[in-house]
Amino acid sequence: MLDAMLIILMRMMTGPVELRPRSTGEIFALAFNLYRQRFPTFVLITSTVLVPIFGLNALLSAMAVILTVGNLQWQAPQLMPGGAQDAAIAGLTAAFNCVGALVWLLGIFWPWAEGALTFNVIEQVLGRALDVRASFGQTRRHWASLWTANFLAQIGIHLPLVVVYAALIGVLGVALAAPTFAVFGADFFASISPAVAVAVVAICAPIVIGALVVAVVLAINWTFRAAVIVGEGASSLQGLSRSVAIARGNRWLIFWRYVLLFILEFVVTAAPSLVATPLALIGMVALLPGTPSNGINQDAILPPGLVVTVLAITAISLISSLLLAPFRVVFTTLNYLDLRVRNENLAALLAKAPAPQPEAPKAEQAPPAPAPSAPRAGANWQDVDLDKLTPAQRVGVLFNRLRAEGESAQTLKALALALKDVGDWGGALDSLTRARNVAPSDPEIAYNLMVLYLERRNMTAASRMMQEYLRLETDPNELAALRNNPNFRELLKE
């Protein structure tokens, strides 16, 4: 019973964040505040995916150092015969490629961690604290959509960048070719007319700039895909299109906010590296035995110096990435909520009463009524009068009823309405979906799903649920009430 009360307290211990338009400074301040409050949970959620990836990246760095040092030191025949040297380098190269492929494969799991953390932040803003397991569990049904949306977004964003990469490679090739030809006494630019160079720049520069602009606009448009999918229950394509709709009209605001975020990330990542790398080299030189008094033995310190430098930079980079990745997701989620508050009056939408029970909000809006007390720890779940509880208290009681008695359609329906009352549309949809699996012939479940989808303007799903409700409902009075309800007129036309 104590465990049951702890669950209720955990869900009620954090107050909701005020939903109002915020300035850029306020968004950063709120992001820092949430990040500080929920630091262990946020980092654990992303670490489930990032720690294996970063560990393998560290292994890749170590292999790269070994290959470099090996090429420098294995040139001496007395250290390693030629055949053994070739075999060692070939083996390390193969291992390097295999580990790199494994890092790429592990990267496909990142959208799931991003979705779990995004959902956790949304819940935190609404005043409900979730742990790591609950965050992944409640977003599991969105994994396919999260992965597909991320895959499509990455392809779309990087396609324009191919032009930029090609231009950079061309410039780099020219920059490297000029001194190479000069070594052999050839003037690389002698045979190139200035008009040709100007024409190339005049043609390529707009293309490169245009490709960069397209890539940035696409990145801004699809920034909120994960938040839309886990917060609104959208599919992958719906998540991308809905993200575009949220960003529309606010792209400059989003752009400058993320420029500031990039500067912050650069400072956090680069500053420690600039300090730690020279210190590591100085310490390594000071501790190196046999350093001549009149100078530094470059042959003696080059391989260990390379190792120390790479390890220092790698360690700082990994730690910085582990700390910055969750903050970036928190920042993105808060921007998503801020834009919805600005453009869609999100606070009013969350406070709106559920359509099937219009009398519930009236009871809650009576100002003189004192806040009801939570049920006693020893109370039987069946004896609790849910009508006398606040929506948040009903959520806690019904969660414990599910734990004690198992899933039932009635309890899941009540939980869905309570979650909808507190603004958790994703949780309400999940509860109704589970109730539908338990009782597929219950018309009330189809009705509530129809209302939920209609409020979220998912007309395809709402129409599907209406057809299911019309098929299951046998009471002619209920059917007549549905057909006479102006809220469903748009669906009835389809």
Per-residue pLDDT tens digits for 83-110: 555 565 566 566 666 666 666 666 678 8
CA torsion through residues 218, 242, 139, 347, sign: positive
Residue where a domain stops, chosen among 348, 372, 406 = 348
Both 19 and 151 in one domain: the answer is yes
Q: Does the residue 231 lie in any domain?
A: yes
Both 174 and 288 in one domain: the answer is yes
Q: Does the residue 281 lie in any domain?
A: yes
Q: Does the residue 1 lie in any domain?
A: no
Q: What single DSSP character describes residue 297? A: -
Please give the pLDDT value at position 108: 78
The closest alpha carbon to 307, from 38, 67, 107, 489, belongs to 67
Q: Which of 20-29, 75-84, 373-382 has the highest mean pLDDT?
A: 20-29
- CATH number for the domain harbouring residue 401: 1.25.40.10
Query: Could you tell me which residue, 216 or 346, shows the higher pLDDT?
Result: 216
| Residue 366 clears pLDDT 70, i.e. is over it | no
* Total domains in the fold of the chain: 2
Please give the pLDDT value at position 181: 55
Rounded mean pLDDT, 8-21: 57
| Residue 374 clears pLDDT 50, i.e. is over it | no
Both 249 and 153 in one domain: the answer is yes
Both 339 and 365 in one domain: the answer is no
Q: Does the residue 3 lie in any domain?
A: no
The closest alpha carbon to 354, from 258, 451, 289, 260, belongs to 451
How does residue 13 score in pLDDT terms, banded at 50, 70 and 90?
Answer: very low
Rounded mean pLDDT, 27-33: 91
Both 343 and 369 in one domain: the answer is no
Please give the pLDDT value at position 125: 85
CA Rg value for the chain: 30
Query: Could you tell me which residue, 5 or 228, shows the higher pLDDT?
Result: 228
Percent of the chain having pLDDT more than 90?
A: 8
Long-range Cβ contacts of 487-494 (<8 Å, 24+ apart):
487/355, 487/454, 488/450, 488/454, 490/459, 491/450, 491/454, 491/459, 491/462, 491/463, 491/466, 492/466, 494/459, 494/463
Please give the pLDDT value at position 261: 92
> If you write DSSP's letter for every residue of 233-293 in order, what string do you get?
---HHHHHHHHHHHHTT-HHHHHHHHHHHHHHHHHHHHHHHHHHHHHHHHHHHHH-TT--T
How does residue 158 score in pLDDT terms, banded at 50, 70 and 90?
Answer: confident
Both 119 and 224 in one domain: the answer is yes
Both 406 and 300 in one domain: the answer is no
Report the predicted TM-score, pTM, of the whole model to 2 decimal places.
Answer: 0.58
Rounded mean pLDDT, 114-141: 85
Rounded mean pLDDT, 288-308: 51
For 406-425, how does the pLDDT look when each residue is reduced to its tens digit (9 = 90+)?
Answer: 778 888 888 888 877 767 77
Q: Does the residue 6 lie in any domain?
A: no
Rounded mean pLDDT, 147-171: 83
Q: Does the residue 325 lie in any domain?
A: yes
Both 389 and 302 in one domain: the answer is no
Both 342 and 370 in one domain: the answer is no
Rounded mean pLDDT, 449-476: 82
| Residue 301 clears pLDDT 50, i.e. is over it | no
Q: Does the residue 208 lie in any domain?
A: yes
Both 211 and 81 in one domain: the answer is yes
| Residue 221 clears pLDDT 80, i.e. is over it | yes
Please give the pLDDT value at position 283: 54
Please give the pLDDT value at position 336: 92
Both 237 and 306 in one domain: the answer is yes
How does residue 7 score in pLDDT terms, banded at 50, 70 and 90?
Answer: very low
Q: Does the residue 175 lie in any domain?
A: yes
What is the spatial distance between Cα 272 and Cα 261, in angstroms, rounded to a whole number?
17
Residue where a domain stops, chosen among 348, 368, 402 = 348
pLDDT averaged over every residue in the chain: 73
Residue 440 domain boundaries: 359-493
Query: Could you tell me which residue, 458 or 32, shows the higher pLDDT?
Result: 32
Residue where a domain stops, chosen among 348, 370, 396 = 348
Query: Could you tell me which residue, 194 or 220, shows the higher pLDDT?
Result: 220
Both 439 and 489 in one domain: the answer is yes
